[in-house]
Chain A
């Protein structure tokens, strides 16, 4: 199957999981990246890209009305872009880090745009409730209920369209930039997957700032260090 089509179909399905409250959590970036890797023929690369994005957002907890970025679409975008751009003949394998950076930057944009799109949807989707009220007033209850389920198609379509647009425009752009900027600039970025997860570690630290949980965080940290010390 065409890689753009398969990635877009996957994104549509994951948007359903994320937005419909099915919420099996397969839409988390680490899962989405892995699934995108499977459909694009490189699960290991997909898992790595998805895991880096996931690790950066580890401590993000939707409490006190904090808006959640659309990480489902971001997860598919980062994996699809990095796998397809690396497959492109123009990209030197040494520019892997640069490809990951560009894919991550794009996926952050997709995640933020997905959030804005969803907020817009929330301000408008009351028309479905109003229409359902009208139908219920006429005694057409099953049709009113069907209106609710018709919104599933909209969530799927948004995920599909956003990902298709991002992959179609993003792969040549990422491959082009990575091909043009190679060598000295691109090489040091290979260490990005080692350093970027520290962002998530910091937010996890903030999440566990209490006395008991802070102690347990420290205990986990020290346990690893002690094990490594005794092993060496």
Chain B
């Protein structure tokens, strides 16, 4: 199936855009612009009972009149989408797109059962959340922040700009592109789409590891320049302790303990010398 559609992109169809398609995009933007804006605030009312249920409802709300079948209770529709929802941050937009697609087809009279919509929503939420959270939180953000910190160490703002550009390229692509793809494919957002998601995952992960190694090496170079072998040894100790403690203690506690130890080391070192 993948070979039959070699020019298909992840978020949008690749290739030249025909004028008719461009016109349909303008109509799409008019129709869905409001929902797309709302996507960016989905977690604002997050709570431990329904998580992002109210946020999800706020995205669906502009479609209530269009998605309710004639004679059907719009209130029932609203209540269905005010329940539990947890699809993470980045691809909840795709789930919202899929649900809007299915609800609209159902409103047109196609045989789409309410139970089917609920099960697709629940299944996609967990799959897409796991995929996107790993890519963003464990790979992309550490890579970008490492680059930003390396450049900030030398007083440059370039890394900061590079981080914001790199992250937001994927962020907007996932959130806006995910919604558009969900609207376009409906429940067809599944195996092939998920498999094509974040194909550059390994590359980004490799770059993140490489950048982390560069960051560590530059720290040792700077430490040697500032305080000689003593600083290099202390840096190695702090590095090893952080790697060991990060799995045992809460992160903020690890940082506090090691920062205090470093300050004590510097003061005691001066007094002794």
User: Are B142 and A58 interface neighbours, CB within 8 A?
Assistant: yes
- A208 interface residue, CB < 8 Å from B? yes
User: Are A57 and B251 interface neighbours, CB within 8 A?
Assistant: yes
Alpha-carbon separation in the docked complex, A137 to B79 (Å): 8
What is the CB-to-nearest-CB distance from B210 to chain A, in angstroms, rounded to a whole number?
A: 4
User: Are A59 and B61 interface neighbours, CB within 8 A?
Assistant: no
What is the CB-to-nearest-CB distance from B25 to chain A, in angstroms, rounded to a whole number?
A: 24
Tell me whether chain A's interface is mostly helix, strand or loop, or mixed: helix
Out of B74, B221, B236, which one reaches A228, CB within 8 Å?
Answer: B221
Alpha-carbon separation in the docked complex, A65 to B74 (Å): 36
Identify which of residues 170-200 in chain A touch chain B, using a CB-to-CB cut-off of 8 Å.
Answer: 184-185, 187-189, 191-192, 194-200
- B214 interface residue, CB < 8 Å from A? yes
- A133 interface residue, CB < 8 Å from B? yes
Alpha-carbon separation in the docked complex, A28 to B153 (Å): 16
**Interface mask (B63-88 → A, CB under 8 Å = 1, otherwise 0):** 01000000000110011001000000
**Interface mask (B231-267 → A, CB under 8 Å = 1, otherwise 0):** 1001110111111101100111011101100110111
User: Are B137 and A63 interface neighbours, CB within 8 A?
Assistant: yes
**Interface footprint category on B:** 35 or more
User: Are A189 and B266 interface neighbours, CB within 8 A?
Assistant: yes
- B122 interface residue, CB < 8 Å from A? no
- A89 interface residue, CB < 8 Å from B? no
Q: Which residue of B lies closest to A207 (CB)?
A: B142
Q: A59-B142, A202-B240 are in contact. Are A54 and B148 (CB under 8 A)?
A: yes
Question: Interface stretch among B14-22, B35-43, B109-117?
Answer: B35-43
Q: Which of B153, B215, B250, B258 gathers the greatest number of chain A CB atoms within 10 Å?
A: B215
- B119 interface residue, CB < 8 Å from A? no
Q: A24-B171, A126-B49, A152-B44 are in contact. Are A192 and B263 (CB under 8 A)?
A: yes
Question: What residues of chain A lie closer than 8 Å to B216, measured between beta carbons?
Answer: 201, 204-205, 217, 220-221
User: Are A69 and B133 interface neighbours, CB within 8 A?
Assistant: no
Q: What are 20 A-to-B residue pairs whose CB atoms are below 8 Å?
A: A21-B40, A21-B43, A21-B89, A25-B171, A51-B148, A55-B153, A61-B137, A69-B251, A148-B45, A199-B242, A199-B259, A202-B238, A203-B254, A206-B243, A208-B213, A214-B209, A218-B213, A220-B215, A224-B213, A224-B214
User: Are B266 and A191 interface neighbours, CB within 8 A?
Assistant: yes
User: Are A136 and B252 interface neighbours, CB within 8 A?
Assistant: no
**Interface mask (B40-60 → A, CB under 8 Å = 1, otherwise 0):** 111111111110011101100
What is the CB-to-nearest-CB distance from B138 to chain A, in angstroms, rounded to a whole number?
A: 5
Alpha-carbon separation in the docked complex, A179 to B223 (Å): 27
Alpha-carbon separation in the docked complex, A63 to B56 (Å): 23
Question: What residues of chain A lie closer than 8 Å to B211, measured between beta carbons?
Answer: 220
Out of A47, A112, A219, which one reaches B157, CB within 8 Å?
Answer: A47
User: Are B246 and A148 interface neighbours, CB within 8 A?
Assistant: no
Question: Interface stretch among B4-12, B159-167, B177-185?
Answer: B159-167
Alpha-carbon separation in the docked complex, A161 to B53 (Å): 28
Q: Which of B79, B208, B236, B252 gathers the greatest number of chain A CB atoms within 10 Å?
A: B252
What is the CB-to-nearest-CB distance from B204 to chain A, in angstroms, rounded to a whole number?
A: 11
**Interface footprint category on A:** 35 or more
User: Are B43 and A60 interface neighbours, CB within 8 A?
Assistant: no
- A111 interface residue, CB < 8 Å from B? yes
User: Are B47 and A129 interface neighbours, CB within 8 A?
Assistant: yes
- B149 interface residue, CB < 8 Å from A? yes
Q: A20-B41, A23-B89, A220-B217 are in contact. Are A208 and B74 (CB under 8 A)?
A: no
Question: What residues of chain B lie closer than 8 Å to A195, measured between beta carbons?
Answer: 223, 231, 234-235, 238, 262, 265-266
**Interface mask (A202-232 → B, CB under 8 Å = 1, otherwise 0):** 1111111000111011111111110010000
- A155 interface residue, CB < 8 Å from B? yes
User: Are A203 and B137 interface neighbours, CB within 8 A?
Assistant: no
**Interface mask (A96-116 → B, CB under 8 Å = 1, otherwise 0):** 010001001100100110010
Out of A50, A59, A141, A194, which one reaches B64, CB within 8 Å?
Answer: A141
- A31 interface residue, CB < 8 Å from B? yes
Q: Which residue of B lies closest to A215 (CB)?
A: B209
Q: Which residue of A lies closest to B51 (CB)?
A: A122
- B190 interface residue, CB < 8 Å from A? no
Question: What residues of chain B lie closer than 8 Å to A72, measured between beta carbons?
Answer: none
Alpha-carbon separation in the docked complex, A19 to B52 (Å): 12
- A144 interface residue, CB < 8 Å from B? yes
Alpha-carbon separation in the docked complex, A115 to B63 (Å): 35
Question: What residues of chain A lie closer than 8 Å to B142, measured between beta carbons?
Answer: 58-59, 61, 204, 207
What is the CB-to-nearest-CB distance from A127 to chain B, in angstroms, rounded to a whole number?
A: 8
Alpha-carbon separation in the docked complex, A30 to B262 (Å): 21
